[in-house]
Amino acid sequence: MQGGVRAGEEERVGRLVERLGDRSIVLIGMMGAGKTTVGRRLAQRLQLPFVDADVEIEKAAAKTIPEIFAEHGEPYFRDGERRVILRLLGEGPQVLATGGGAYMNAETRDAIARRGISVWLKADFEVLAARVRRKSNRPLLETADPDATIRRLMTDRYPVYALADLTIHSRDVAHDIVTDEIMTALEHHFEDKPA
């Protein structure tokens, strides 16, 4: 029985990866939505490389993201982010986690549409606020009222995130549940768009 389940999972993964071709699965969403955590799990399940755009930006700049923001400002960071993501999209197939503001750039969105399948991990305010409070490396939240900043970013970004190919509800459940929901959504996406 267990071997049958494993064989079924292997077939499922094989079909998904075949349909993906050289495209990347690109996770978008707010800080705290779970892009890195779920992305690692999804990459493991699909036997694909996992790439975190923020890590690649820090490598390219030889600085942390808070340092880039502090020394050069957000526009400089966003330009570097755009260039790094464009490069990474040429290295698929992979699971690519992007920063919260990356998808707001029209050029980045167009490149993701051409070279990837975008998956919005949509989280409610309470989930995001609880998760980001645990980390101090969020330059955009270095404000007098981080909760108000999160709400403002959600208002600005959610209509753009809604342009993604797929939307998955990110919530406080086991990561494997969200990962499986992404895989199922990808299967339906591929069924709706024959190769």
pLDDT digits (tens, 9 = 90+) for 107-159: 999 999 999 999 999 999 999 988 887 665 555 566 668 888 889 999 999 99
Burial of 103 (0-12, 13-18, 19+ CB in 10 A): buried
pLDDT of residue 137: 55
Does the structure show a pLDDT above 60 at 73? yes
> Class assignment of domain 2-187?
alpha beta
Split at pLDDT 50, 70, 90, the class of 3 is very low
- pLDDT tens for each residue of 16-36: 999 999 999 999 999 889 999
Q: For 143-182, give one letter per residue: b (16+ CB within 10 A) or e.
A: eeeeeebbeebbeebeebbeebbbbbebeeeeeeebbebb
Does the structure show a pLDDT above 90 at 193? no
The pLDDT mean for the chain works out to 89
**Backbone dihedral region of 138: left (phi > 0), alpha (psi from -120 to 50 degrees) or beta?**
beta
pTM (predicted TM-score) = 0.90
Does the structure show a pLDDT above 80 at 51? yes
Map out the domains of the chain as residue ranges: 2-187
> Percentage of the chain with pLDDT > 90?
68
Contacts of 74 (CB under 8 A, 6+ apart): 101, 139, 140
